[in-house]
Chains A and B, each alone.
Chain A
Amino acid sequence: MTTTFAPVEHRGARIAQLEDVKVRFGKGDNAFLALDKTNLTVRPGDFVAMVGPSGCGKSTILKLVAGLLRPTEGVVFVAGREVGAEQVGIGMAFQNPTMLPWLTIRQNIMLPLKIVKPYSDTFSRDKDTVFRDRADALLAKVGLTGFGDRRPWELSGGMLQRANLCRALIHSPKLLMLDEPFGALDQFTREELWAILQDLWMETKPTVFLVTHDLREAAFLASRILVMSARPGRVTEDRTVDFPRPRTLETTFEIEFTDLTNDLRRLIFAARQGVEKA
Chain B
Amino acid sequence: MLSPQIKENLKSASLIVGLFVAWEIACVVFHISPIVLPRPSAVFTTLIIQMPALWPNILQTLATTMVGFILGMIIGVALGVFVGVSRTAYKTAYPLLVGFSSIPKVAVVPIFVLWFGSGTVPAVLTALTTCIFPIVVNVATGLATTEPEMEDVLKALGASRMQVLWNVSLPRAMPYFFASLKVAVTLAFVGTVLSETVASNLGIGTVMMMATSSFDVPLAFAGLFALAFLGIALYSVFAVIEQRVCGWANRKQEFAMG
B147: nearest residue on chain A (CB-CB)?
A98
Name the interface size band of chain A: 20 to 34
Contact B249 A101 (CB under 8 A): yes
Q: Mark B140-174, 1 if CB is under 8 A from A, else 0.
A: 00000001011011111111000100011001101
Q: Measured between alpha carbons, how far is A111 from B171 in the docked complex, in Å?
A: 14
Contact A98 B153 (CB under 8 A): yes
Whether A92 touches B246, Cβ cut-off 8 Å, given contacts A101-B255, A115-B158, A153-B255, is: no
Whether A152 touches B255, Cβ cut-off 8 Å, given contacts A94-B153, A98-B149, is: yes
A100 within 8 Å of B (CB atoms): yes
Q: Measured between alpha carbons, how far is A68 from B254 in the docked complex, in Å?
A: 32
A114 within 8 Å of B (CB atoms): yes
A89 within 8 Å of B (CB atoms): yes
B149: nearest residue on chain A (CB-CB)?
A94
A16 to chain B, nearest CB (A): 13
Contact A90 B157 (CB under 8 A): yes
Whether A100 touches B168, Cβ cut-off 8 Å, given contacts A68-B152, A112-B157, is: yes
A151 to chain B, nearest CB (A): 7
B256 within 8 Å of A (CB atoms): yes
Q: Which of B147, B156, B158, B254 contacts A153 (CB 8 A)?
A: B254
A271 to chain B, nearest CB (A): 27
In the complex, what residues of A have CB within 8 A of residue B258's CB?
Answer: 156-157
Q: Which of A101, A114, A157 contacts B167 (CB 8 A)?
A: A114
B251 within 8 Å of A (CB atoms): yes
Whether A67 touches B152, Cβ cut-off 8 Å, given contacts A98-B147, A153-B251, A153-B254, is: no
A91 to chain B, nearest CB (A): 8
Q: Measured between alpha carbons, how far is A168 from B152 in the docked complex, in Å?
A: 12
In the complex, what residues of B have CB within 8 A of residue A101's CB?
Answer: 248-249, 251-252, 255
Q: Mark A102-119, 1 if CB is under 8 A from B, else 0.
A: 100000000110111000
B257 within 8 Å of A (CB atoms): yes
B64 to chain A, nearest CB (A): 34
**Restricting to B155-213, which residues have a CB under 8 Å from any CB of A?**
155-159, 163, 167-168, 171-172, 174
Instruction: Name 24 A/B residue pairs within 8 A (Cβ), A-sorted.
Output: A63-B152, A66-B155, A66-B156, A86-B158, A87-B155, A87-B157, A88-B158, A89-B158, A92-B152, A94-B149, A94-B152, A96-B149, A98-B147, A98-B149, A100-B150, A101-B248, A101-B249, A101-B252, A102-B246, A115-B154, A116-B157, A151-B248, A157-B258, A171-B157
Chain A residues close to B by CB (< 8 Å) = 63, 66-68, 86-94, 96, 98, 100-102, 111-112, 114-116, 151-153, 156-157, 167-168, 171, 177, 184
- 12 further A-B contacts with Cβ under 8 Å, apart from A89-B158, A101-B248, are A68-B156, A87-B156, A92-B157, A94-B149, A94-B153, A96-B147, A100-B168, A101-B251, A115-B154, A115-B159, A151-B248, A153-B251
